[in-house]
Every structure is written in C-alpha cells, then in structure tokens.
Chains A and B, each alone.
Chain A
Amino acid sequence: MDLQTLTYIVVGATFALYIGIAFWARAGTTGEFYAAGRGVHPVANGMATAADWMSAASFISMAGLIAFNGYGASVFLMGWTGGYVLLALLLAPYLRKFGKFTVPEFIGDRYYSRTARIVAVICLIIASITYVIGQMKGIGVAFSRFLETEYDTGLYIGMGIVFIYAVLGGMKGITYTQIAQYCVLIFAYTVPAIFISLNITGNPIPQLGIGSTMADGSGTYMMDRLDQVVTDLGFTQYTTQVMGSKLNMFVYTLSLMIGTAGLPHVIIRFFTVPKVKDARSSAGWALVFIAILYTTAPAVGSMARLNLMNTIQTGEVGSAEGNIEIAKVPQWMTNWQKTGLLTWEDKNGDGRIQYYNDKNADFAAKAESYGWKGNEMTKVDRDIMVLANPEIANLPNWVIALVVAGGLAAALSTAAGLLLAISSSISHDLLKGVFMPDISEKAELLAGRIAMAGAIALAGYFGLHPPDFAAGTVAIAFGLAASSIFPVLMMGIFYKKMNRAGAIWGMISGIGVTMLYVFQHKGIMFIPGTSFLGDLGPNWFLGISPNAFGAIGAIVNFAVAIAVSKVTAPPPDHIQHLVEDIRVPKGAAGAIDH
C-alpha cells in the first residue's frame, strides 16, 4: 500500500476514535463542560494532562530545534519539565483546596476584586491565543505534508478540524479523548526513535543510544561522531552550542518553568482531581508521562541531525562526488519540497547539493577551494524534522503514517484544552462572573462555544505568519503566562499580606513589560515589519531573546506587587483567614459538588 493511502487510514482511524469518545462523553452541564465533574483518577488525569501539555511544540517542533541547536535547546527540555516541580510544590494542592473552576476565579476571590479577575482573564486570553498560534503552525505543517499541499492550505483544513473537535465536547469529553491521544502520540514518538536508535547505535533504548557507540563498528561514540560531522561542514559543535548566551539560556529556562506553572489549561487539570492529596500526585504522574517523550527527544533530535547531514553529504567533504546529486534526492525531500518548507537551489551548478554553514568565515576559504558557492539547502524548516525523521531513516510506511497521526494528536489535544480555557475565561469569568450574572447555563455554554470559534479564527490568521517556529511561538506564550499569572498565584498562597492593588499592578506591569519587549522585536501583534527594534541579537537587552523575556517580566511583577502592597491597605481579615484555610488540606470540598 502506498504511503498516502496508509496515512489516510491511520489518521482517519485515530480521528474516528477521538470523535467517537468525545461524542460518547458529551458534556451535559456546565460543571462537566469545564471540569469533568471532579471524578478523574490521578493516573488518568496525569495522562490526560500530559496529552494536553505536549503540544505541537513538544511533538513536532522540539526535536527539530534540538537537532539544529544541540545543547542550546536544553532550555526546552529543562524548562518544560521543571515547571511541574513548581506546579506540584507551590500551586496545585492549594488551588485544589480552594475548589473553584478557573484560575481567574481564584484570583478574583483571593484579591477580593472584580478588577483583578478581569485583568487575570485578559492576561490568560493573551497567553492562550499566542499558544494556539504555535499549535496552528504545527497543525499546518502536519496537514500540508499529509495532504501534500502548501502550508497555507494545510492550515485552513486544520482550523476546520480543530473547530469541529473542540466545540463538540467539553472537558469531560476532552479528558477521555486526551487519554486516547496520549497513547497514540507516545507510541508514534517512541517507535521511530527505537528504530532509529537501533539503526545508528544498535541500542534499542533511545535514552541510552545517545551514550552508545556507532553501529558501523568504528567504535566512535555517537555524540563524538555527530560533533565531527557538523564541525566538518562549518557548523557549531553540537554538544557545546549555546542558545544566545548562558545568561539567555538561564532566563529562557526559568521563563518556561514558571510559565508552565502559570498556564490555565494545565492548572485547570488540578481542579478536577478528587482530593488535595491527588493534586500532589497528579502533577507527578503527568510528569512521568511527559518525561517518556522528553527524555526520548534528545535522541530523536541528535539522530535526525546525523541522518540529515549524511543524506546530503554522502561522501568525503570537498570531494567532487561527496554530495548528493539533485536528480537522485530521496523521495522524502521532494515530498517536503511541495510544502515549501524544504527548498534547495544549485548555486554552483554542479548538479549536487552542498549543505554547509556559509556564515562561518573560517570555513569560507575551504568552501571556496571546493568550488562551493554558498549553502544550497536554502530552507530547512525546523518544524519538519520530526515528521520527516522516519522517512529520512527509511523506516516502513506505517511508521511514517503513525508519526503524522501522533503529531496531529499532540496539536489537537493541546489546541482543544487551550480553547476550552479561553472559552471558560470568557463565558464563565467574564460573562457569568462579571457582566451577566443571571445568564442561563445554556446561554453560557453557547457563549463559550462562540468564544472558541472566534479564538480559532484569530489564531489561524496569525498562524499564516507565525512569529517563530512552533516551539518558539509557544515559548512566547509561556513568557506571557509567567510574567502575569504565576507570581500572583504564588503570592496569593505564600504571602498573606499581598493585597488587591499589589496583585493588579503586578499583573499589569509584568505582562506589559513582556509584551512591550516581544512586540518591539517581533512586530506589533507579530505583524512583520512593525517591530520598532529589529529582531537581532545585538538589539536585545543583555542578549536576552524575546522568547525568554517572561522571566524578567515575572521579576518585575513580583517587585511591583510587593512595593505596591507595602504602601496600600492590607487585605481584610476574612481574606487572611481564607489563605490560612487553603494552606491545610482538611475540609476540602467533595469530589462532584458544584
């Protein structure tokens, strides 16, 4: 059976499964729509959280960034897992004890203020929409490859599917669907990794494969080989390549970690477990399921890079026959060429492709002596690496089809979870909580669904010109959440004297500073050409990239909040009692009531 047909069958079967589950578990009441009736077991909840969490950024994009950034991409690996420690230790059990549906509800009650609640809603919507833009990029890449069309067409089709999918079910449908999605995506991620690790190193466990010797009998360690292959072509050494600077990496990691603990669609998960005890272990279970993918990713990235380099540089560097002939490029390259995400150009007219670092001045003389006239792989979109990986490694067609299905599962599950968070922010927090307290359940559900549709349209529009690769765009979303939500949640629990004015000004200044920095380098509303300072390293404050700036925003948030709270009236007594109450698990509301 040819690849195209097989992909249709595998993707179709997994979709039928998700939609079947969503339909079977259709949400009936608002309580079920938002929080699955609080009856979800910690292991099941952990698995669903993992699916929710691991988006197109983790599945499709991250290993590609690891492949091209080497050690520098560690920021994603540490940042997107370390946040769970913060979540488990600092937030989850207390928010579960507090026992409401949404994050803005907590902020509104803890800071006894409708204004605080509205500000929190706005911050959440900004962060969530940015996050969905990243998913749209991933969905567009996956669909364009799968349907063999251009990226834009893939994106439009993806938007339609996300719409049907997220609007149909609420949280309850999503929880069970997400468990199915987790199984599909983790299978799809690890199977090719095992195959490739076996091919390259002979070790079936990818985590150990990166520390093994090459299977070609040379006795060279895989990492040493990779370092050599890339430096031979003028690229930076894989294992020591930093992202920007060490300071940038430090701040980037921190930003992703605290962003993790500030994102609504993850926090909302911990409202749905039966007990405070379960909230603690749920975060652990989620991380177990996430770690399976995250510890595999370094192997996927490094081995994909090695395979890619060897595909193009087939022989000795500099020899006339050392590079692949354009007439003989493998099928996967021509397939990806159709999407416009992988392009090449025969600059020196020798009928072969040279892929090397033409920005490296030290390598330029060598390249010239070889008769090379610039890097001929004119575009290698990082986001195609994971999807192309099994094709590059010549794995069977069913594995390739499975990876497409897995990528779509990852992107869809996260997009659905985020859209739910956006719709609950608007219908529950803004309409019912603030502007229309008398709204009926039915009208609230309808408003939620309209909000979802609007969010999809908006994110799809920005997805046509995303500010960065999928993982980079998602990193910006984390920065926005880190700078606004996490600090006020944490102070709400650990600093009894934090008051209304402090929280409001903290959130506004934190997200304000971050947005200003992102927009000045990435363009206002990410529109290209509107950035008033170019998106180049030398223009960055202390060399910190806009993607990493959320940590600075969070520090501003903490500082402003504490300063303002010192000069304004302390919170009333009943709020201080509320804080004392959420600090102990005893007396948490039961599992289903609401």
Chain B
Amino acid sequence: MNKTAEQYWKANIRLVGILLAIWFICSFLFGIILVEPLNTIKIGGVGLGFWFAQNGSIYTFLVLIYVYAKRMNALDVEFDVHED
C-alpha cells in the first residue's frame, strides 16, 4: 500500500471511529444504560431516555450516515481516489 492510500485509510478509520462512538452513545448509552437518570428530564411528558430509545436515536443515525457520505466523498477527492 503506498503512502497516500495508507493515509486515506487512516483518515477513513478515524472518521468511522468517531461516528460509531456517537452511534453507541445515542442508542446504547442514552437509550438503555442511562435511561433512568435521563428519564427524570421530561419534555412534553416524555422522559428523555425513553425519547432517545424510541425516536431520538433514529434521527441521530440519519445524521451520522449523511455526515459519513459527505466526509468520505470529500476524502476521496482529497486523496485522489475518487471514481471518474
């Protein structure tokens, strides 16, 4: 693997790592592990932990994929590995 390809892969792994950390936080951490403390915060009669588990995590997932696609497409161009 040449130098550029290696750097490209490292940048990719970093991006994926950050996004997966957020993925874990909004679903497993907020929706399951910390659900009771978060449920003490209520918005419109719905506990925040409950909301993350049933709605909030899904919205976050959408943003994550959007950011990933946008950042990766930019990385492709930056490292000149994009398709023609």
Contact surface of A with B, Cβ cutoff 8 Å: 66, 71, 74, 77-78, 81-82, 84-86, 88-90, 93, 207-208, 210-213, 221-224, 239-240, 246, 249-250, 253-254, 275-277, 280-281, 283-284, 287-288, 291, 294-295, 298, 580, 583-588
Q: Does A89 contact B81, Cβ atoms closer than 8 Å?
A: no
Contact A223/B76 with A78-B58, A85-B64, A585-B81 known, Cβ cut-off 8 Å: no
User: Complex formed: what's the CA distance from A69 to B66 in Å?
Assistant: 31
**CA of A85 to CA of B67, assembled, Å:** 11
Are the C-beta atoms of B68 and A88 separated by less than 8 Å? yes
Q: Given known contacts A71-B35, A85-B65, A584-B5, what 8 new A-B pairs fall within 8 Å (CB)?
A: A77-B58, A89-B20, A221-B44, A239-B39, A246-B32, A276-B83, A280-B65, A583-B5
Q: A78-B53, A85-B64, A291-B58 are contacts. A280–B69 as well, Cβ < 8 Å?
A: yes
Min CB–CB distance A277 → chain B (angstroms): 6
A-B contact list, 6 entries, CB within 8 Å? A66-B54, A74-B32, A77-B55, A210-B44, A221-B45, A280-B69
Majority secondary structure of chain B interface residues (helix, strand, loop or mixed): helix
Interface residues of B in 30-67 (CB under 8 A from A): 31-33, 35-36, 39, 43-47, 50-51, 53-55, 57-59, 61-62, 64-66
Q: For residue B51, which residue of chain A has the nearest CB?
A: A211
CA distance A254 to B46 in the complex (A): 24
Q: Which residues of A contact B57 (CB under 8 A)?
A: 77-78, 81-82
A212 and B82 form a contact (CB under 8 A): no
Q: Is A585's CB under 8 angstroms from B83's CB?
A: yes
Interface residues of B, count at CB 8 A: 44
Q: Using known A-B contacts A85-B20, A277-B73, A280-B69, determine if residue A223 contacts B46 with beta carbons closer than 8 Å.
A: yes
Q: Give CA–CA (A77, B80) in the complex, Å.
A: 38
Return the 8 tightest CB-CB contacts between A and B, nearest first.
Answer: A221-B45, A211-B44, A74-B53, A284-B65, A280-B69, A298-B54, A584-B81, A586-B81
Contact between A210 and B46 (Cβ–Cβ < 8 Å)?
A: yes
B73 touches A275 (CB 8 A): no
State the Cβ distance, A298 to closest chain B Cβ, in Å.
4
Q: Which of B3-39 contact A (CB under 8 A)?
A: 5, 8-9, 12, 16, 19-20, 23, 27-28, 31-33, 35-36, 39
